[in-house]
């Protein structure tokens, strides 16, 4: 018995075929990957080899079944959740940036020991308590079951607790091949590592659930990459990002056990996740499984609403990139809406189908939840009814959440059902002329609801990319909507409305062309732009007059330069 997506989900996905996991699938052929000769356990380096406060424990590997053999040739196995693997020893690790916020949260002293940090957070040395491993999982990629996947370029070091007692897993991204790398080499380049380092921290300060960044290091080694898969291979600087999360478990961790009929392992994993990360639900049971799935659904819907609120496009919403905690995970070819276009995606390989475009994200979230529901069906004794009821609540939950979100974006303190027509008309007029999504809402906050239609239009004109080409018809459409909006918010105090709008609509987001400036500087050995951007992005809702140049319209050159509009998963 399987759970099928509802018609609304099917319509959003351009005819993508739904694939159930309740049927037995053949195991995907795994390519045996031979680790490099320098991937054996590293010898400790002389000097400081510890970071004050770094106390790791093997909590995940002790609690769940895995393959503890970190030999060079072992292939992935069934009935396990992780495989031990040693990081490849980098030739010249160098710390170039770290999050002071995460440093303080974890109680670490990175700044006092940059050399030790570079060695320990690249895998050059192993701290006491470190048990490096890669997780096994599967996933649906672009709508199709991809079989066994797993951490192909991520190696977890272990778990530690922060100053409040919360647990965090430290994971190295780009530290070499794992049993799940398939054809990949497991490395990452500076370009992609800077993007994830900055964006995950930016998302946190935007108030969006996300994995976090701790440190960014160079390896001293080059990595060959074909950025646009056109045969143009280039050597790029290798880098390793140490990222952290309460859990890196994904929807795909459950899917792989369901696909291989490993029902005991499925239950073990679910019970572990509930006990560890959903303790408020109580001891795992049938009733708790239902509460857990309901909470996962709601967290996923909330994450989608957050992404839509700030104009973030993840662009690779495969089920192996969906966090069980409802956090943003795996920053690949992401992007931020500039001119408002629901069909926009920054993903080069999705430019035809646009499966993961901005407008599709909420329903892709639901489609992925159907895949998760099929995977955990054995926990419900294959009774689809409770899961169907929970899945059926998604649309109403999300729609209400998004309705309230849009109201806040427009400065409406109490949304009503009658506001929907005003909201819907907004999305239509924003497409009449290229209009910057972020700048529009910040400009609108400055409008005075008592102004004339012409004055209101002048207030939002800075958000137009082609203001000189506006037709009278377009001007009239905007003026009409602005008049309706002004009347709607006229009974709210100006200061109250502006405060609500400016804490809902960020002024600073990590536009791709801005991230590229940090990357270009870093590739030339100047890491100061990374630090400057991180400082700006830590206060995204503040005006910050000294940094106004990072809050303007996308420059013309950015429409033509690679890495600004279309990106790939190349890392």
pLDDT score, position 78: 87
> Alpha-carbon distance 200 to 130, whole Å?
24
pLDDT score, position 10: 55
For 243-271, the three-class secondary structure string (H helix, E strand, C coil) is EEECCCCEHHHHHHHHHCCCHHHHHHHHH
Q: What b/e readout covers 64-89, taking b as 16+ CB neighbours within 10 angstroms?
A: bbbbeebeeebebeeebbbbbbbbbb
Q: Which residues are catalytic?
A: 320
pLDDT score, position 230: 73
pLDDT score, position 9: 63
Q: 413: how many CB neighbours lie within 10 A of its CB? A: 13
Residues 19, 145: contact at Cβ < 8 Å?
yes
Residues 212, 204: contact at Cβ < 8 Å?
yes
Q: Domain ranges in the chain?
A: 16-251, 283-404, 405-504
Q: Please tell me the pTM assigned to this model.
A: 0.92
3-state secondary structure of 69: coil
pLDDT tens figures, 173-211: 999 999 999 888 999 999 999 999 999 999 999 999 999
pLDDT score, position 240: 98
pLDDT score, position 298: 98
pLDDT score, position 69: 86
Positions of the chain with pLDDT lower than 50, given as ranges: 11-12, 14-48
What proportion of the chain, given as a percentage, has pLDDT over 90?
84
pLDDT score, position 74: 59
pLDDT score, position 7: 55
């Amino acid at each position: 018995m399987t759970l099928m997506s509802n018609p609304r989900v099917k319509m959003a996905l351009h005819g993508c075929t739904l694939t159930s996991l309740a049927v037995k699938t053949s195991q995907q052929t795994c390519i045996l990957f031979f680790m490099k000769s320098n991937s054996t356990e590293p010898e400790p380096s002389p000097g400081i080899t510890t970071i004050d406060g770094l106390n790791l424990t093997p909590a995940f590997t002790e609690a769940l079944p895995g393959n503890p053999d970190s030999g060079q040739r072992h292939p992935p196995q069934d009935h396990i959740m992780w495989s031990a693997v040693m990081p490849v020893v980098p030739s010249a690790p160098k710390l170039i940036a770290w999050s002071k916020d995460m440093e303080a949260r974890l109680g670490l002293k990175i700044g006092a020991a940059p050399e030790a940090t570079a060695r320990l957070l690249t895998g050059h040395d192993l701290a006491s308590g470190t048990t490096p491993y890669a997780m096994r999982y599967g996933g649906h990629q672009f709508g199709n079951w991809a079989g066994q996947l797993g951490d192909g370029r991520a190696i977890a070091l272990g778990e530690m607790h922060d100053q409040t007692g919360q647990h965090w897993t430290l994971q190295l991204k780009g530290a070499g091949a794992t049993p799940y790398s398939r054809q990949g080499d497991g490395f990452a380049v500076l370009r992609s590592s800077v993007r994830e380092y900055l964006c995950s921290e930016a998302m946190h300060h935007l108030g969006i659930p996300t994995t976090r960044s701790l440190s960014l290091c160079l390896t001293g080694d080059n990595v060959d990459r074909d950025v646009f898969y056109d045969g143009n291979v280039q050597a790029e600087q290798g880098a390793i990002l140490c990222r952290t999360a309460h859990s890196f478990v994904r929807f795909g961790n459950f899917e792989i056990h369901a696909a291989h009929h490993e029902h005991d392992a499925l239950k073990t994993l679910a019970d572990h996740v509930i006990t560890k990360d959903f303790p408020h639900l109580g001891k795992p049971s049938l009733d708790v499984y239902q509460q857990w799935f309901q909470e996962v659904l709601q967290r996923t819907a909330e994450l989608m609403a957050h992404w839509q609120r700030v104009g973030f496009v993840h662009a690779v919403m495969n089920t192996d990139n969906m966090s069980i905690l409802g956090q943003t995970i795996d920053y690949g070819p992401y992007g931020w809406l500039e001119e408002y276009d629901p069909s926009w995606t920054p993903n080069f390989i999705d430019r035809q189908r646009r499966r993961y475009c901005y407008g599709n994200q909420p329903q892709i979230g639901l489609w992925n939840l159907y895949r998760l529901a099929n995977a955990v069906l054995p926990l419900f004794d294959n009774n689809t009814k409770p899961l169907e009821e929970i899945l059926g609540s998604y649309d109403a939950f999300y729609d209400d959440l998004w309705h309230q979100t849009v109201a806040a974006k427009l400065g409406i303190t109490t949304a009503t059902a009658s506001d929907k027509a005003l909201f819907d008309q907004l999305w239509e007029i924003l497409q009449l002329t290229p209009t910057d999504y972020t700048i529009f809402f910040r400009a609108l906050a400055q409008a005075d609801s008592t102004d004339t239609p012409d004055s209101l239009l002048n207030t939002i004109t800075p958000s137009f990319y082609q203001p000189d080409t506006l037709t009278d018809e377009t001007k009239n459409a905007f003026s009409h909507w602005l008049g309706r909006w002004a009347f709607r918010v006229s009974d709210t105090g100006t200061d109250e409305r502006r405060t609500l709008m400016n804490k809902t609509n960020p002024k600073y987001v990590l536009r791709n062309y801005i991230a590229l400036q940090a990357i270009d500087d870093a590739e030339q050995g100047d890491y100061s732009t990374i630090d400057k951007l991180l400082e700006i992005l830590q206060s995204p809702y503040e005006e910050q007059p000294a940094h106004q140049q990072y809050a303007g319209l996308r420059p013309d050159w950015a429409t033509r330069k690679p890495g600004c509009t279309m990106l790939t998963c190349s890392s």
